[in-house]
């Protein structure tokens, strides 16, 4: 006798929901109400200390192309002109190994998990990117992106091609730090709170906060070129790496679908402005980013189907954001 379709559907729903909850608990831990909880970074040393002096060709930066947090460090490295000072390794998101895979790494490690365990014997925590690695002592210096970009901005200045380019200027730090806190919780981490929400209430709360902040930022950028005025800062880099992925990935995969960034007059121009700065677009392999998100985050896209996505050539269209600085000077 044929099994009633209703029974099949209910069984499949039950089994898949239980399996999804199990997968999500490993991928994205949550609190009891279903809100995504990002794990704190474990390695918080600083270049410039006695233990880790600033030296050229001593440190290696490990990033993943998918990861917006790692992308911050890659952009800062380029804008400061540290390509010949801090080496770079790119890890590959690989669902078959359950994490970040390394190829032909100088340490001999085949994954970020092996690198973490090389740096700290017996390490069993999360093996995330970015990582700033000391090639002399085989230690992890730091794996917190917000701190790595500050180090890249100032610790290597005497070796940098662009030491005069201060992305974290002292007079702007109080306002920048306040804005960073808002953007981190509601936008940078906010898109992940939407995508990894385990309950409807958790999603509704995260999505509402996300778009409220985007609305505020769009308004803020109506009369200034960058978030803190006419000067590009780390605050902008931290926001940019989320915005560049938004229409391509977060809008669909993470259910951040109230609006796209291209629907915002000022945010859309601001995004293109930063993308077109010398060296930045080279850090944004958009098709690879899209592919890795849609294939590596299996619980969010079990079919593995990758959407057509947006026309990436649109990021090269004129933006005229530079006129805001001119108009500000005139006023």
Q: Domain spans of the chain? A: 59-159, 170-330
Split at pLDDT 50, 70, 90, the class of 18 is low
**Could you tell me if 85 and 79 are in contact, meaning their C-beta atoms sit under 8 angstroms apart?**
no
Scanning the structure block, which residue is given the tokens 């929901």?
17
pLDDT tens digits, one per residue of 172-222: 999 999 999 999 999 999 999 999 999 999 999 999 999 999 999 999 999
pLDDT at residue 307 in the model: 95
How high is the pLDDT of residue 331? 41
Which of 120-129, 136-145, 201-210 bottoms out in mean pLDDT, i.e. has the lowest? 120-129
Q: Do domains 59-159 and 170-330 have the same CATH topology?
A: no
Active site residues: 67, 192
- Per-chain mean pLDDT for the chain: 92
Supply the DSSP symbol for 307: P
- pLDDT tens for each residue of 244-257: 999 999 999 999 99
Residue 85, C-beta contacts closer than 8 angstroms, at least 6 positions apart: 56, 57, 156, 159, 160
Preceding peptide of 130 cis, ω within 30°: yes
Strands 59-64 and 131-134: antiparallel
DSSP state letter for 229: B
Into which CATH architecture does domain 170-330 fall?
Answer: Up-down Bundle (1.20)
Q: Which of 102, 89, 90, 86 is CA-nearest to residue 52?
A: 86
Show the tokens assigned to 230.
């006419």
Q: What is the structure's pLDDT at 3? A: 55
Query: Any idea what DSSP says for residue 296?
Result: H
Each residue of 28-50: b (16+ CB within 10 Å) or e? bebeeebbbebeebebebbbeee
From CA 296, how far away is CA 301, in angstroms rounded? Answer: 9
Q: How is domain 59-159 classified at the CATH fold level?
A: Glutaredoxin (3.40.30)
């Amino acid at each position: 006798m044929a099994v009633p379709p209703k029974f099949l559907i209910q069984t499949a729903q039950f089994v898949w929901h239980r399996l999804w909850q199990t997968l999500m608990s490993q991928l994205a831990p949550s609190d009891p109400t279903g809100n995504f909880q990002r794990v704190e970074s474990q390695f918080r040393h600083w270049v410039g200390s006695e233990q880790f002096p600033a030296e050229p060709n001593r440190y290696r930066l490990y990033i993943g192309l998918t990861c917006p947090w790692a992308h911050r460090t890659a952009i800062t490295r380029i804008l400061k002109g540290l390509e010949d000072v801090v080496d770079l390794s790119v890890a590959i998101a690989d669902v078959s190994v359950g994490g970040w895979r390394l190829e032909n790494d100088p340490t001999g490690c085949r994954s970020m998990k092996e690198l973490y365990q090389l740096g700290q014997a017996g390490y069993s925590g999360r093996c995330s990117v970015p990582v700033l690695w000391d090639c002399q002592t085989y230690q992890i210096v730091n794996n917190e992106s917000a701190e790595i970009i500050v180090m890249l901005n100032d610790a290597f200045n005497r070796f940098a091609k662009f030491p005069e380019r201060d992305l974290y200027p002292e007079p702007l730090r109080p306002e920048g730090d306040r804005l960073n806190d808002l953007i981190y919780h509601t936008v940078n981490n906010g898109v992940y709170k939407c995508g990894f929400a385990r309950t409807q209430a958790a999603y509704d709360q995260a999505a509402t906060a996300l778009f409220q902040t985007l609305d505020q930022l769009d308004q803020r950028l109506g009369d200034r070129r960058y978030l803190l005025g006419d000067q590009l800062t780390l605050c902008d880099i931290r926001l940019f790496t989320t915005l560049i992925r938004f229409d391509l990935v977060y809008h669909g995969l993470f259910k951040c679908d109230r609006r796209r960034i291209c629907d915002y007059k000022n945010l859309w121009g601001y995004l293109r402005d930063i993308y077109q700065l010398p060296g930045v677009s080279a850090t944004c392999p958009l098709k690879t980013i899209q592919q890795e998100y849609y294939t590596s985050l299996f619980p969010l896209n079990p079919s593995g189907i990758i959407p057509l996505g947006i026309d990436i050539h649109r990021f090269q269209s004129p933006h005229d954001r530079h006129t805001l600085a001119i108009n500000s000077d005139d006023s």
